[in-house]
C-alpha cells in the first residue's frame, strides 16, 4: 500500500477517535497526525495500522490500539517542557507521540534487547533519533539519572504500583499505569504524588488489557 494511502486511512481513524470523544484535545490530535502508527509496525502489518486494535511487534509483544494510547495521553495532560519517562518502549510509537506533546528529550526504558533495536530503528527513520532516548533496562526501577519526572507513563500491566516509580515522580506529578492480573486484565490507574514522603492519590479509570510488566518490582518472568 502506498504511503499516501496509508496516511489517508490513518487520518480517517484519527477523525473517528475525535468524533467518538476519545481524542479530546487539539494537541493530542496534532501529535497523532504527525506520528502515524504505520511507521512503527513491522512491514507486514503496515496496512492494518489504521485498524483500532493492538498489533504484533517482535518478541511476542504488541503495539497498543490507538484508542488506548489516546485515552492515556488525554489523562496524562502532557505540556511542553515536561520531563517524561515511559516504561515499556515497545515499538517506539508512544515515545514519539510524547515528544510531539512535550517538545523535549523523552526517556523510555525497555527490558527486551530486540525491542530496543526495533524501537531505535523506527525512531531514527521517523526523525526522532536525538529526541527520544531508548534505554535497555528494568523499567520497574525507573531511570534515576533523569528523575524527578513530571509524568511517568507505563505501557504494561503491573501487579502493584512499583515503589521506585513513585519515588521518581515530582510532587504534583502524575503516573498512568495499568495494575491487575498477570495477563490481559488490569485497571488503568492515575497516580498523583501528593508529598515528598511518597503519599499518593489514585483515580481508577476502569478496565484495560496490557501485556505484563516484568521486572524486580513487577511480575517475575
Q: Does 91 qualify as catalytic in the annotation?
A: no
Cα 172 to the center of its chain, rounded Å: 20
Enumerate residues 6+ apart whose C-beta is below 8 A from 160. 179
Q: Which one of 64, 91, 181, 195 is the catalytic residue?
A: 64
Confidence of residue 53 (pLDDT cuts 50, 70, 90): very high
Average pLDDT over residues 103-109: 98
Which residue has 527490558 as its cell numbers? 111
Q: What is the pTM of this model?
A: 0.96
Reported as a single tens digit per residue, the pLDDT across 153-178 is 999 999 999 999 999 999 999 999 99
- Check pLDDT > 90 for residue 184: no
Enumerate residues 6+ apart whose C-beta is below 8 A from 140. 87, 158, 162, 164, 165, 213, 214, 215, 216, 217, 218
Average pLDDT over residues 105-130: 98
Reported as a single tens digit per residue, the pLDDT across 59-92 is 999 999 999 999 999 999 999 999 999 999 999 9
Amino acid at each position: 500500500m502506498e504511503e499516501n494511502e496509508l496516511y489517508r486511512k490513518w487520518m480517517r481513524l484519527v477523525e473517528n477517535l475525535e468524533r467518538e470523544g476519545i481524542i479530546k484535545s487539539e494537541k493530542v490530535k496534532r501529535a497523532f497526525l504527525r506520528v502515524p502508527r504505520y511507521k512503527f509496525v513491522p512491514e507486514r502489518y503496515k496496512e492494518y495500522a489504521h485498524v483500532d486494535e493492538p498489533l504484533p511487534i517482535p518478541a511476542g509483544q504488541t503495539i497498543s490500539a490507538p484508542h488506548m494510547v489516546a485515552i492515556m495521553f488525554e489523562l496524562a495532560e502532557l505540556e511542553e517542557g515536561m520531563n517524561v519517562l515511559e516504561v515499556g518502549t515497545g515499538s517506539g510509537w508512544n515515545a514519539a507521540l510524547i515528544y510531539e506533546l512535550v517538545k523535549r528529550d523523552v526517556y523510555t526504558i525497555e527490558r527486551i534487547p530486540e525491542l530496543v533495536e526495533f524501537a531505535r530503528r523506527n525512531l531514527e527513520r521517523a526523525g526522532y533519533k536525538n529526541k527520544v532516548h531508548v534505554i535497555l533496562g528494568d523499567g520497574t526501577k525507573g531511570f534515576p539519572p533523569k528523575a524527578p519526572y513530571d509524568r511517568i507513563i507505563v505501557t504494561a500491566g503491573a501487579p502493584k504500583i512499583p515503589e521506585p516509580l513513585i519515588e521518581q515522580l515530582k510532587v504534583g506529578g502524575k503516573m498512568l499505569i495499568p495494575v491487575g492480573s498477570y495477563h490481559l486484565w488490569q485497571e488503568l490507574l492515575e497516580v498523583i504524588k501528593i508529598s515528598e514522603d511518597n503519599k499518593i492519590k489514585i483515580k481508577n479509570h476502569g478496565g484495560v488489557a496490557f501485556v505484563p510488566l516484568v521486572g524486580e518490582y513487577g511480575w517475575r518472568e
